[in-house]
Amino acid sequence: MLINFSNHLVKDWSDAQLEDARKIYKKLHDIPFPNVDPNADTEDILKLSEQYSSYISKLILKSEDKKNAVHVMGEHSLIFAVVSLLQKNDITCIVSTTERNSEINGNEKISKFNFVRFREYPKNV
């Protein structure tokens, strides 16, 4: 199972990203990434990370799939805390990589992101 813990629900993924995910993981499961208050302090982030990592860990433990991982993308401090906690429990965390293509249209810059691949978060850095 691949748990998608991000702001981008699986239903909104590109065909290439879905195909890559389904090649590796039997099921795809969304857990929407929370809005993180920019005024939150470190203790708030740690509490939130403990709540989400605990919930995600329980889902992984219940999974009957042989291959499990968590796709984690969102606010940086919460990502760091959640990935650190999940990795302590030997849960694989991945990120999707993209290629940005930008166009200038008058005074507006339009960026399009094309999925390239999934990459595992480094461990024991």
pLDDT in tens, 1-49: 999 999 999 999 999 999 999 999 989 999 999 999 999 999 999 999 9
- The CA-to-CA distance between both ends of the chain, in Å, stands at 26
- Residue 22's pLDDT is what? 96
Buried b or exposed e, range 45-67, using 16+ CB within 10 angstroms: beebbeebbeebbeebeebeeee
DSSP reduced 3-state for 4: strand
* pLDDT bracket for residue 124 (50, 70, 90): confident
Q: Residue 3: how many CB atoms within 10 A of its CB?
A: 24
Is the pLDDT reported for residue 125 higher than 80? no
Q: At what angle do helices 42-62 and 76-88 cross, to 10 degrees?
A: 40
pLDDT in tens, 82-107: 999 999 999 999 999 999 888 888 88
- Residue 31's pLDDT is what? 98
**Mean pLDDT in residue range 71-86:** 97
- Residue 112's pLDDT is what? 82
Q: Residue 43: how many CB atoms within 10 A of its CB?
A: 8
